[in-house]
Amino acid sequence: MTAGRKIIYAFIAILLFFVILEIVLLLVGFSGRADDTTFVLNPEWDYPEYFLKDHDLFWRFRPNQIIKSDFFVEGEYHINNHGLRGPDFSREKTPGVYRIVCLGNSCTFGWRVGEQQVYARQLADMLKRSDPARKYEIINAGVTGYTSLQGLRFLRRDVLNWQPDLLVVSYGWNDHWAAAREIADKNQVLPSQWVLDIQNLLGRTRTYRWLKYLVFSIKNPPPAEFSRTNPVYRVGLADCRDNLQAIIDEAKSRGIDVALLTLPIAERADPRFKGVAEFHEKYNAIIRSLGSTDSVAVIDAAAAFSGRNNLFNQPRSDLKHYNANGHMIIASMIQKYILQR
């Protein structure tokens, strides 16, 4: 047998082995997670079947998919042709259409909320009823786990190409999560995109996820520690302000209007959460200050939600994610701003 034929047979044997292994893992229902701790409180990298690794944005949704049940939370999430939640849309804006892009994190995305209930979709319905003479298009550009830095990069790379007329911006919650191993977002260094593309290709297979699970289990990486006395945040206060200001500047230079949303927080009697609420309000203060100095609208959702824990999904365990009624209130506040302009 020639050397070339041996190589071919060896390749076929290896390929058959992995095909059989993939079938076995499918039949046994393997769904193990590798618990990647690069972003300690944001586990998007643990779900390679739903997310793509991205050199600049860190992660983004795989486009054209429907996510059901096996996700962070229960529900069904339709991801469109641009890797965002909601109906498909074209990059080119239809003439005569007023295009609104809602930038944000999981709150904008609609955590535990049906697609028809997220504030982007409710806003579209409200504007259609209240201003039928004008054509509106509202794009839900909320991506789970995103900080203001990711939002700025997303804006520059993709969103500006969609020619929005108005940006509704909601970032801050993920900014003040502690950074794993004290590496802030701006200091994260990822491999080249071609390396990530290989991982993204393999990430759809159970074999890759199983091997990754085994490696992480054997390696047993230390927990993503962070200093509790002098923590490094994913995006600190000063950097958050700079990122939001850069978003405003990029938009204004192209004639795009900007409205900033403050960030509601559920209230708890437990004194352990007092510090969280006080620090969170520092980010809201930044948002309000940007509105007062740069002719940018501020939609103060945090004030509207104050003392109203019934607007949150699970206020006892989740401080940030609001329910369908909360989304309705935010949609009505944005609608009021648009119609009064």
Half-sphere exposure of 196 (CA within 13 A, CB side): 17
Pair (21, 55) in one structural domain: no
Residues 6+ apart with CB under 8 A from 25: 206, 207, 210
Pair (170, 267) in one structural domain: yes
Pair (95, 240) in one structural domain: yes
Pair (120, 103) in one structural domain: yes
Pair (92, 117) in one structural domain: yes
**C-alpha distance from residue 178 to each of 93, 230, 328 (Å):** 38, 10, 30
Pair (106, 52) in one structural domain: no
Pair (53, 78) in one structural domain: no
Phi and psi, residue 136, nearest 5°: -115, 150
- Domain, as residue range, for 160: 74-177+233-340
Q: How many residues does the chain have?
A: 341
Residues 6+ apart with CB under 8 A from 21: 207, 210
pLDDT, position 129? 95
Pair (89, 44) in one structural domain: no
Smallest CA-to-CA distance from 192 within 330, 11, 53 is with: 53
pLDDT, position 6? 62
User: Looking at the domain assignment, is residue 117 inside a domain?
Assistant: yes
Smallest CA-to-CA distance from 136 within 327, 301, 339 is with: 339
Pair (107, 202) in one structural domain: no
Q: How far apart are CA 108 and CA 231, in angstroms?
A: 27
pTM of the model: 0.88
User: Looking at the domain assignment, is residue 198 inside a domain?
Assistant: yes
User: Looking at the domain assignment, is residue 217 inside a domain?
Assistant: yes
User: Looking at the domain assignment, is residue 69 inside a domain?
Assistant: no
Q: How far apart are CA 51 and CA 165, in angstroms?
A: 28
Buried b (16+ CB within 10 A) or exposed e, 105-137: bbbbbbbbbebebbbbbbbbebbeeeeeeeebb
Half-sphere exposure of 208 (CA within 13 A, CB side): 12
Tally of domains in the chain: 3
pLDDT, position 250? 97
Pair (14, 47) in one structural domain: no
User: Looking at the domain assignment, is residue 67 inside a domain?
Assistant: no
Task: Give 274's DSSP letter.
Answer: H
Ranges assigned E (strand) in 90-231: 97-104, 135-142, 166-170
Pair (218, 274) in one structural domain: no
**CATH (domain of 140):** 3.40.50.1110
Q: How far apart are CA 81 and CA 244, in angstroms?
A: 27
Ranges assigned E (strand) in the chain: 51-54, 58-61, 65-68, 76-79, 97-104, 135-142, 166-170, 257-261, 297-299
Average confidence (pLDDT) per 10 residues, the chain, 341 residues: 65 65 61 61 78 95 86 80 96 95 96 92 96 96 96 98 97 90 90 92 77 65 55 93 97 95 85 78 95 84 92 83 95 95 80
Express the helix, strand and coil content of the chain in percent, nearest 5 each: 45, 15, 40
